[in-house]
Structure 1
């Protein structure tokens, strides 16, 4: 099964990107990516919230969706981190 989603995106320069689900397979999703300076490094913090309906069935569906989504976000962030570190090393 494929699901289509529509989200709004808000940028708070230079440190934050917020997403909010407008239409999708669950009734409520918010996510944020926040950059934090820590001395000479930058830390990326991801936070997300998923809300469901339909009682236990919705809870089951939300758990299944959240697990797959968190894995996809983690893989994507690992790829971004590896590329950022590669570029930083080549600049030294």
Structure 2
């Protein structure tokens, strides 16, 4: 569950969708993109450093470790590549975690005066039915973590959008 042991044997691979989760945000698309990208491409707050640590940074992609509390004192650590395609897409691909494969995206589209952020992904597990059952457990936690992140992103983007220009 914590991602400390990552098995990718490729036998009996089953995939399942993640999402969709859709959030309408009262902020311009560039603002929303900047809020999502901030902990990866910019200066991170102390709170975000406890959740995300950039291991390697390029011009449009980073390798980052994500830390997520899962049960009691356990923390899941996933390592993912995060690719940025401004202004409308951010893609995540799992490198190490509790399942062998995850690919996700945040797609940003303009909706009236605001932005629609749509999350979609796919999770792959090995070992037929056993892996499928494990995938259901992991997906439940994974999607809750994404929902919590989207709520925080929405709140921060709307807060920034309400600030008067300096």
TM normalised by structure 2 equals 0.50
Alignment of 1:87 with 2:160, yes or no, is: yes
What is the number of equivalent residue pairs in this alignment? 92
| Counterpart residue number, 1:60 | 133
Aligned residue among 27, 30, 54 for 2:100: 27
Distance in 2 (alpha carbons) for counterparts of 1:6 and 1:89: 34
Aligned structure 1 segments of 4 or more residues deviating by more than 4 angstroms: none
Deviating more after overlay: 49-58 vs 80-89 = 80-89
Normalised by the length of structure 1, the TM-score is 0.85
Q: CA 1:80/1:5 → structure 2, altered by over 3 Å: closer, same or farther?
A: closer
Could you tell me which runs of 5 or more consecutive residues in structure 2 were left unpaired when the two chains were aligned. 4-76
Structure 2 residue aligned with 1:45: 118
For residues 8-38 of structure 1, give each alpha carbon's deviation from its aligned partner in whole angstroms, at most 9, with x where no partner exists.
Answer: 2211111111111123221211000111012
Residue ranges of structure 1 left out of the alignment (5+ in a row) = none
Greater relative contact order: 1 or 2 (C-alpha under 8 angstroms, separation 6 or more)? 2
Cα RMSD after superposing both structures: 1.8
